[in-house]
Amino acid sequence: MKAIILVVALCSIYGVTALSEADVAELMKYQDACIAESGVDPVLIENAKKGDVAPDENLACFASCMLQKLGMMNDQGVLNLDNIRAKIPDNVDKAKAEEVINKCKDVPGNHHCLKAGNFVQCFMQHKEFAVLQ
Summarised one tens digit per residue, pLDDT across range 8-65 is: 444 434 444 456 788 778 888 999 999 999 999 999 888 887 777 788 999 999 999 9
Number of structural domains the chain divides into: 1
We report the CATH number of the domain holding residue 34 as 1.10.238.20
Per-residue pLDDT reduced to its tens digit, 80-107? 999 888 887 777 788 888 998 999 999 9
Phi, psi of 10 (to 5 degrees): -65, -120
Residues spanned by the domain of 89: 18-126
More confident residue, 47 or 129: 47
Q: In this structure, is residue 103 part of a structural domain?
A: yes
Q: How confident is the model at residue 68 (pLDDT cuts 50, 70, 90)?
A: very high
Predicted local confidence at residue 129, as pLDDT: 53
Q: Is residue 131 part of a domain?
A: no
* Residue 14: per-residue pLDDT: 41
C-alpha–C-alpha distance, residues 14 and 76, integer Å: 23
Measuring CA to CA, how many Å separate 48 from each of 5, 6, 40? 9, 7, 12
Q: What is the pLDDT of residue 128?
A: 64
The answer to whether position 27 is within a domain reads yes
